[in-house]
Each structure stands twice: as structure tokens, then as C-alpha cells.
Amino acid sequence: MLAAGFTKSSVGKKLLMAATGLMLFGFVVGHLLGNLQIFLGAKVLNEYAVHLLELGPLLWLMRGGLLTALILHIGLAVNLALENRKARPTGYSFRASVQTTYAARTMMVSGVIILAYVVYHLLHFTFRVTNPEISSLHDAAGHHDVYAMVVLSFKDPVISGVYILAQLLLASHLSHGFGSMFQSLGWICEGNEYCMKKVSLAIGALIGLGYISIPAAVLLNMLTVPGGAG
Amino acid sequence: MNLTLHVWRQKSADLGGEMVRYDAKDISPDMSFLEMLDVVNEGLDQKGEEPIAFDHDCREGICGMCSLTINGIPHGPDRGTTVCQLHMRRFKDGDSIHIEPWRAKAFPVIKDLIVDRTAFDNIIRAGGYISASTGGVPDANAILIPKKNADDAMDAAACIGCGACVAACPNASAMLFVAAKVSHLALLPQGAVEAGTRVKKMISKMDEEGFGACTNHFECEAACPKEISVKFIGKMNREFLKASVKK
């Protein structure tokens, strides 16, 4: 068990930030792998969606776990940011930095925008509130046509644009967050502390590009709906 | 060379302060930064004005006393250098230089550029003693220590406790200082005995003193005159987790 006072300690909170970040990162990777199946065609993606729903209680367990991780991650971030601000009541009149990055300095901004996007994203694809006319189609097998929903949505340059922007911010958030996770958990690669900075940057870029590839393929007409409603 | 200085002037801890402009004339590029301030102070003294108060002691780069933020960077633009070892040849004739004290809630300004770093002493005190009786100088290799541990412990022990890490950190965090102190003892067999209780006590004291938390900007490492690596922060986090999970 964790010792008393762990969650009150700044280092303890950082460790929890990292642990919850790791869970959310796991989701981001899993979700990307699931989404990329769109390139395997409508049948594969739609059946994957059915399998996912068939997980039943396990799916709700994962959703519950992720929601808890998300709430903890955000709550701790706000708490730490407020404490950090209190730690320097008078700032410097001449501000400068040596080796911090833009991504590191804008973690709160990228985080808040990603959160807002996640809410919209859920309303769009999960609760199907924002575009009901294209979100509840069915394929030949009678399954929910996820493929058509995604492709028809991304035909709209505004939806694609917002999605791409959100993924760029996610890439930025992860480019700092991934390495920070390992530093906070003390899992740094011994002897090459700086490799993690590069790995982190690569992971951020890879995840961002992976997600962006989907709307990009739709806009470039590489993914189309057979029968051509779009 | 002639320079324009913008210096933080504050009469005492409880009075507010402001940036005041001074001209530094006929400065030799061979002077150290502190010698340049000495010349400016001589001028102020002759005019009957209060000289600029700043901390300094050894002027050899080993005591950790000097503590000036120069153009936003603690200890100035050179890496691995204390202010006393920074020379005026690093600047150009006609440069504007902003000189401010370390800025942190845990380091209140006492006067002008002098801050109270008692918070660091309190953290060291919280760490306590090591119970192993070390006696006199032990025979070489009487206790076998892996070369890597010896090197890492030595690197961490290079910390002179100047507080530049706190001053550089966007969150005024003392993690690099505490990590260095935690690591250099935890890496050696004599200090490893109390490693768990030490890391918890020191981190709890660090929080109590009002330092911020780490957000991995690594500005501390860039400012550290002893170039202590942020890998020690990772090590401290690991030590803390180990100590917290045990009970």
C-alpha cells in the first residue's frame, strides 16, 4: 500500500499524474490502432465496432477506468499548476529560458483544448448528437456503419480541420508528456537521460500523424463510401 | 566598456522594491561580474548613495553564495558557471543588463539582490544524520562500491546549494537540489540505510517550505553551476515511490 501523505506530496502527485497519463496514453494508442482499421475497409471497421460493444461489462470497466484517470489527471494538473504559481509570487521583469520547449510551456493550454475537443468528439461519434443524419446509417450486414459515419464526417473540411488541429495539440502534449511520464515515475533510461526527449518527440509525432492520416485520406479521396453518398 | 544596468533595489524584506537604472562606466572586460558591481558600488558610495547589496563569498565558484539572475538566467549566460566566475568579456560594450534576485516564495528577498535561503538548510536538516558510524577515513576499498555509484554520488555531491535551480525553474521548484542531496547519500552504502525515510522527510519539508513541483522543463539543469543532471530527479522520484510503497 502507499504510505500516508503520498497524495499530499508534490512528488506523489507527480507520480499520479504520470500513472494516469500512462493510462490515457494507453487509450490513445489503442484507439489509434482501432481507428486505423478504417484503411482495411468498411467491413473490418464495422465488425471491430461490433466486437468492441460485445465486450459488455469489460468495455464499461475500461470506460470507467479511463474516466477516473482523466478526472484525476485534470484535477491534479489544476492543483499542481495553482501550487506552482504560488511558489513564485513575484516574477522576473526580464524573462528568459535555456532549454525548455514550447510544448512543455503550453501543457495546460494544449490539455484544456484537448479536453474540449474530447467532449465534442464524444458528442459527434459516440453519442451521435452533432451529425445525426450521417451517424446512424447501417451497412449491408445490418451493423452500425461506422465507416460511412467517419468518412462522411471528414468530407466536411470544418470537421476535418478541427480534428487535425486537436491532433496537433495532442502530438504537442504527448511530445512533452510521454518523456515526463518516465521522468516522474523514475523510469529514465540510465546513461542516456536525453534519449527520452527524442523518443518523446517521436512518439508525439507518430501518434499525431497516425490520427491525422484518417481525415487526410478522406479529404484526398483515398477513403470513399461505396455507392458514393459522399 | 560601458553598460546600462537595471538592478532590483529593495530596502528590506517587508518593503516593496523596483528596478533602478545605473550606468556602469569604464568597465574592463577582464573583470568578473561581481568586480563590475564592486566598481558600480564604489561610484554609488562616493555619491553618498546606498550601494547595491548582493551575496558573495569565495569568488572562486565553489561556495554557492553568489546568487544573481542576469537577463533572466540565474548565474548569467555561461553554463556551469557561478556569477563570480562570469566575466565581463561575455558582454558587449553598450549592453543592457538586468540583474534580479532569485525569485521564489521560499527565498524571500532580504535586501536588494540578497535572498534568504534558510529553506535549503531546513531541507538538509529534515534529511537527518546517517546512523552508520563512519569513524576515521576508511581504507580504500574496505567497502566495495561500484564505480558507477561512486561517480554518480560524486556528481550529485557537487551541489553547492546556491539555489539557481529554484531560481531557474518556472515553478520555483527545488527538486534538483533535493534530488542531488537525496541521491548522493542513497547511492553509497553508508547512506543507503536511511534512504527511504530520508527521501520522504526531505520531500515533505520541501513542500512545506513552499517550493513548486517539477514539470520537466529542465531549466534547473541548464542553470546549475555544477551541471547536475536531471537524471537525479528521476532517481529521487524512484526512491520516493520505493519508500512509499514499502509500508
- Give the span between the Cα atoms of B98 and B73, in whole angstroms: 10
Greatest extent of chain A over all pairs of C-alpha atoms, in Å: 66
Phi, psi dihedrals of residue B121, rounded to the nearest 5°:
-60, -40
- Give the span between the Cα atoms of B192 and B170, in whole angstroms: 32
Query: Are B207 and A9 inside 8 Å of each other by CB?
Result: yes
% of residues, chain B, pLDDT over 70: 99
Place A189 in a pLDDT band, splitting at 50, 70 and 90.
low
Gyration radius of chain A's alpha carbons:
20
pLDDT exceeds 80 at position B132: no
Place A16 in a pLDDT band, splitting at 50, 70 and 90.
very high
pLDDT exceeds 70 at position A227: no
Nearest by CB to residue B216, choosing from A5, A8, A180, is A180
Alpha helices in A87-194 (DSSP H): 102-105, 107-121, 132-135, 146-154, 157-185
Interface membership of A19 toward B (CB under 8 Å): no
- Give the span between the Cα atoms of A194 and A179, in whole angstroms: 9
Nearest-by-CA chain A residue for B77 = A98
Q: Are A230 and A170 in contact (CB under 8 A)?
A: no
Interface membership of B207 toward A (CB under 8 Å): yes
| Residue A225 falls in which region: left (phi positive, over 0), alpha (psi -120 to 50) or beta | beta
Alpha helices in chain B (DSSP H): 33-46, 118-127, 147-157, 164-168, 175-186, 189-192, 195-208, 219-223, 231-246
Query: Taking the CB of residue A217, how many other CB atoms lie within 10 A of it?
Result: 16
Global confidence as pTM: 0.93
Interface membership of B227 toward A (CB under 8 Å): no
Q: Which domains does chain B have, with CATH numbers?
A: 3-110 (3.10.20.30), 118-245 (1.10.1060.10)
Going from the C-alpha of A82 to that of each of A79, A86, A200, B60, B172, the distances in angstroms are: 5, 6, 26, 38, 12
Average confidence (pLDDT) over B226-239: 94
Interface membership of A9 toward B (CB under 8 Å): yes
- Give the span between the Cα atoms of B23 and A187, in whole angstroms: 50
Place B222 in a pLDDT band, splitting at 50, 70 and 90.
very high
Q: Are B62 and B69 in contact (CB under 8 A)?
A: no
Suggest the residue from A1, A22, A86, A94 to mutate for an interface test with chain B (most B CBs closer than 10 A): A94
ipTM for the assembly: 0.90
Put simply, the chain A residues between 138 and 177 with a CB less than 8 A from any chain B CB are: 176
